[in-house]
Structure 1
Amino acid sequence: MPPVFRFAPSPNGFLHLGHAYSALLNFDRARETGGRLLLRIEDIDATRCRPEYETAIYEDLAWLGIAWERPVRRQSEHPADYRAALEKLSALGLVYPAFESRAEIAKLVAAREADGPWPRDPDGAPLYPGDAKSLSADERSQLIASGAPYALRLDMAAACRGAAGLSWNELGEGPDGERGSVPARPEVWGDVILARKETPTSYHLSVIVDDALQGVSEIVRGQDLFHATSVHRLLQVLLGLPEPTYRHHRLIRDEAGRKLSKSSRSTGLRALRAAGIAPARVRQLVGLD
């Protein structure tokens, strides 16, 4: 079987040089290995994703000379796939609803920090500080029936008890030079969100479901997602999904050393194209021959 790669942008802004680097690496790896390249549109966030950004993704990638297989998978068209995975985790007793708002969570964290620093995940966000797991089934049902907003969270402690000794095969390099067999530490993320009342899935859940359904065998993505791989490996094991290999790559940064964002107009692919920059020059700008 030929290896399968994917580039999976979100249409919530225009692509920049960082996206170009990741897309080109996937494209090059597919050509080098005789593999397949898929394009996935991660448009589950209906409030931020817009059709014009999706159209721009296709235009920018084609301008770079990148070819991908059709049809393109769009997350918004597959809510049943994520619901099935969520139901399986729920059946294992690993999912619970939490009803605190973001403001309420911030207050809980502030109260906890009166006694010392509250733990934070690798992205710097505080771990969930609430006690929603202690609510009875009747209390949860009443809150849901009342229309209260909620987030569905993974009971991380329970999930880790059923999946000890996790690791992944790293073909690239982590932020601290990690390579080869990397131990997974999903517990440092706390009770991550898997879905919300108004959103059928989170990134953590949708990415592992999509990769499995599409047969992705080598995941090439930025080092900013290196630590999240611990959560992804845990969910893959819990759901009985295949284990891909991972190749995390360096990030393209601006002159101040910051990771590029979609608001970085000077490094946006559309702006570079409008300025007459050639696709070959883009490869040079991101450090590819």
Structure 2
Amino acid sequence: MKPSYIGRLAPSPTGLLHLGHARTFWAAQERARAAGGELLLRNDDLDTARCRPEFVTAMVEDMRWFGLTWAGPMLTQSTRLLLYRAALARLHVAGCIYPCARSRRDVLAAAGAPHEGDEADEPVYPPQFRPPADASLPSLTDPVAINWRFRVPDGETLTFTDGHFGAQHAVAGREFGDFLVWRKDDVPSYQLACVVDDDAMGITEVVRGADLMKSTFRQLLLYRALGLTAPGFYHCPLVTDEKGVRLAKRHDALALRTLREQGRIPGQLRVDWK
């Protein structure tokens, strides 16, 4: 019988996992246990320039050392490109996307493209760069050799209730703009791959860091455009270093592998977590 709660762990093997990852993954495990559900493991390895096999091995070993468990075999995104391409085709037929030859530098340099200092997030795409809504749409090529963007409904307020932070809202076209769904190197964006996989895996709640809150609004639009039911969302507060900077994979001192080699005990690392 399928459990009523299915969560997931979805690390990306672009470096060693750190204590921030562990705290988010532990929250995911605790929520699954409390609901009598299960966790699945997904290897988000679409960043071919940075993903390395040794990081896949390390992330599995380090998560098991930390006390994380999951059901079934690991799902690997790079083996699922046909599923993502099928979703792209559906968006294309629906007229939800358009080709984009503009670079990130173009977008950042354009007037009316606020970025608000958030380097981890996409800048707001300038409306003057998007083609008219009634412009003819070129066919998808194989392989894809140009970026494709999702056209957001300007001015629409999107809302959802976060399991940790409560009611959330964002205005499309103001707080986030047209976003990438497929890259010119013929790889799906995080937004599209995440939606397709979370739906295919039957995920009922996505537990992840608060830095991905804005991505949730983009993904809600993709769920709607693809006719899929969105899961619940629970965004965890970010873990910061002694200077208040959120942890990144460059924080080697707080990498799980480093802590493990130092003889640290996972239970002791979790003692102050709430």
Q: For 2:170 and 2:130, locate their aligned partners in 1 and report how far apart those are by CA, in whole Å.
A: 26
Deviation of residue 136 (structure 1)?
A: 6.3
Q: For 1:121 and 1:14, locate their aligned partners in 2 and report how far apart those are by CA, in whole Å.
A: 28
Q: For 1:34 and 1:253, locate their aligned partners in 2 and report how far apart those are by CA, in whole Å.
A: 31
Q: 2:160 aligns with which of 156, 161, 168?
A: 168
Deviation of residue 148 (structure 1)?
A: 9.9
**How many percent of aligned residue pairs carry the same amino acid?**
36
Deviation of residue 149 (structure 1)?
A: 4.8
CA deviations over 1:132-162 (Å, ceiling 9, x no partner): 5259659x67xx79x99521111123xx69x
Alignment partner, residue 50 of structure 1: 52
Q: For 2:219 and 2:86, locate their aligned partners in 1 and report how far apart those are by CA, in whole Å.
A: 17
Deviation of residue 45 (structure 1)?
A: 1.1
Deviation of residue 283 (structure 1)?
A: 1.2
Q: 1:127 aligns with which of 124, 127, 148?
A: 124
Alignment partner, residue 190 of structure 1: 177
Pair 1:267-2:254 in alignment: yes
Give the aligned residue type for 2:84: Y
Q: For 1:33 and 1:122, locate their aligned partners in 2 and report how far apart those are by CA, in whole Å.
A: 38
Contact 2:145 2:186 in 1 (8 A): no
Alignment partner, residue 100 of structure 2: 98
Counterparts of 1:230-245 in structure 2, within 5 Å, are 230-245=217-232
Deviation of residue 271 (structure 1)?
A: 0.4
Alignment partner, residue 148 of structure 2: 152
Aligned length: 266
Deviation of residue 123 (structure 1)?
A: 3.5
Shift of the 87–152 alpha-carbon distance from structure 1 to 2, 3 Å rule, reads: same
Deviation of residue 26 (structure 1)?
A: 1.0
Contact 2:144 2:185 in 1 (8 A): no
Pair 1:288-2:273 in alignment: yes
Give the aligned residue type for 1:119: P
Shift of the 122–199 alpha-carbon distance from structure 1 to 2, 3 Å rule, reads: farther
Give the aligned residue type for 1:69: A
**Structure 1 unmatched runs, 5+:** 174-178
TM-score w.r.t. structure 1 length?
0.83
Contact 1:121 1:189 in 2 (8 A): no
Pair 1:277-2:255 in alignment: no
Q: For 1:148 and 1:88, locate their aligned partners in 2 and report how far apart those are by CA, in whole Å.
A: 15
Give the aligned residue type for 1:98: C
Q: For 2:104 and 2:162, locate their aligned partners in 1 and report how far apart those are by CA, in whole Å.
A: 34
Deviation of residue 128 (structure 1)?
A: 2.5
Give the aligned residue type for 1:255: E
Give the aligned residue type for 1:39: L
Q: For 2:135 and 2:225, locate their aligned partners in 1 and report how far apart those are by CA, in whole Å.
A: 24
Q: For 2:199 and 2:211, locate their aligned partners in 1 and report how far apart those are by CA, in whole Å.
A: 21
**Structure 2 unmatched runs, 5+:** none
Q: For 2:145 and 2:196, locate their aligned partners in 1 and report how far apart those are by CA, in whole Å.
A: 25
Q: For 2:211 and 2:252, locate their aligned partners in 1 and report how far apart those are by CA, in whole Å.
A: 21
RMSD of aligned alpha carbons: 2.6
Deviation of residue 103 (structure 1)?
A: 4.1
Alignment partner, residue 25 of structure 2: 23
Instruction: Describe the SS at the equivalent of 2:26.
Output: helix
Higher gyration radius (CA): 1
Q: For 1:30 and 1:150, locate their aligned partners in 2 and report how far apart those are by CA, in whole Å.
A: 40
Pair 1:217-2:204 in alignment: yes
Contact 2:176 2:214 in 1 (8 A): no
CA deviations over 1:69-112 (Å, ceiling 9, x no partner): 12111110000111111111111111111113344445x52xx3
Deviation of residue 46 (structure 1)?
A: 0.8
